[in-house]
Amino acid sequence: MKNYQKTKNFLTKNTHNWLITGVAGFIGSNLLEELLLLDQKVFGVDDLSTGLKKNLDNVKLNISKKQWKNFKFIKCDISETNNLKKIKDIDFVLHQAARGSVLKSIINPIKTNHSNVTGFLNILNFSKNANVKSFVYASSSSVYGDSKTLPKKEIKVGKVLSNYALTKKINEDYSELFFKQYNFKTIGLRYFNVFGKRQDPNGDYAAVIPRWVNKVIKNEKIYIFGDGKTSRDFTPISNVVQANILAATTKLPIKNYIYNVGASSRITLNKLISTIYEIFNVQNSERKILYKPFRPGDIRHSLANISKIKKELEFETNTNFKDSLKSTIRWFINQQ
């Protein structure tokens, strides 16, 4: 954490203007909270189609009134160019807005493309024209597709398995072109199954950890797609916040960069639900687990090699999985 602490110390003494897209979402609201705590000025954009106003209200509770005044929220669709005209003098862009979920993209590829490709290109072009210092965007581990190599290294991807993954791959390709054509600095972060506070537990497409935690709280059945041996590299939200801020402020030369952001460890779904039940102190006889068929587009195993981001950005994983899971569960319990 030495470099990140050094970066935070620098930011507290030097105010910059930031733009966060998808600011009312899970990751966006956590980035907002960290930046406001560091006394930064933040423009936040969200159309609230998946982001939640209550996430912004929750951030407000965790910071001072003075810090909250440094935040300006703009409700708009990122694919509409005119919506961005109010935003001036931005130093760093953290682009998190997207239509998430593999299943959503399979059911409605047009909406996913509109948000994740048209919207992305609009923000990328806006950032280039605004001459921002760096453009950091959320890519995804889904771009590794059918590659069976573990751990996943940035230089080797497979064929994508879903429309969602394709949109993220297109984002990376556009970013590379913007560097080659316009000498514009971009940094893509391939997230691996992020979890933490303010993650939405509701709906058919909710991420597995908040969904299962919420169901255990309500004493409802847990459904596992497949045999439960599917494994994931679950990444605490604090690691993702660190990666974004380090990426934005790095002094690396102008180029197109791609980094994995993960915990560099994996756990099966069977082990995950067992650990959740253990934290809740639910006995085996009281556990309600049912198995369903595998879902289309799902990757069997995922594990990040994070040696590149550790070397180039001095990124460090700052909490272990179980401690982060306990912290997340406490947050959800307190929201009841």
Q: Quote the pLDDT of residue 86.
A: 82
Q: Quote the pLDDT of residue 246.
A: 98
Q: Quote the pLDDT of residue 203.
A: 63
Each domain of the chain, given as residue ranges in start order, spans 2-195+235-262+304-319
- Position of tokens 């954490």? 1
Grouping H, G, I as helix, E, B as strand and the rest as coil, residue 139 is strand
In the chain, the amino acid numbered 328 is T
Sign, Cα dihedral of 121, 110, 189, 147? negative
Grouping H, G, I as helix, E, B as strand and the rest as coil, residue 314 is coil
What kind of fold does domain 2-195+235-262+304-319 have according to CATH?
Rossmann fold (3.40.50)
Q: Closest by alpha carbon to 44, among 67, 63, 20?
A: 20
**Residue 227 tokens, joined:** 């045999």
Give dist(CA 234, CA 212) in Å, integer.
14
CA-based radius of gyration for the chain: 19
Is the overall model pTM greater than 0.85, yes or no? Answer: yes
* pLDDT tens sequence for the chain (336 residues): 688 999 999 999 999 999 999 999 999 999 999 999 999 999 999 999 889 999 999 999 999 999 999 999 999 999 877 778 889 899 999 999 998 777 788 888 999 999 999 999 999 999 999 999 999 999 999 999 989 899 999 999 999 988 999 999 999 999 999 999 999 999 999 999 999 999 999 865 578 999 999 999 999 999 999 999 999 999 999 999 999 999 999 999 999 999 999 999 999 999 999 999 999 999 999 999 999 999 887 888 999 999 999 999 999 987 789 999 999 999 999 987
Are 318 and 34 contacting, i.e. CB atoms less than 8 angstroms apart? no
**Residue 298 tokens, joined:** 């799902």
* Range 145-152, long-range pairs (CB < 8 A, 24+ positions): 145/299, 148/300, 148/301, 150/301, 150/303, 151/233, 151/264, 151/303, 151/304, 151/305, 152/190, 152/260, 152/302, 152/303, 152/304, 152/305
pLDDT digits (tens, 9 = 90+) for 131-159: 999 999 999 999 999 898 999 999 999 99
Q: Quote the pLDDT of residue 74.
A: 94
**Residue 69 tokens, joined:** 């005044």
Q: Quote the pLDDT of residue 295.
A: 85
Q: Quote the pLDDT of residue 319.
A: 74
Alpha helices in 183-318 (DSSP H): 208-217, 237-249, 269-279, 307-313
| Enzyme catalytic residues | 164
> What is Dmax (Cα atoms) for the chain?
61
Q: Quote the pLDDT of residue 251.
A: 92
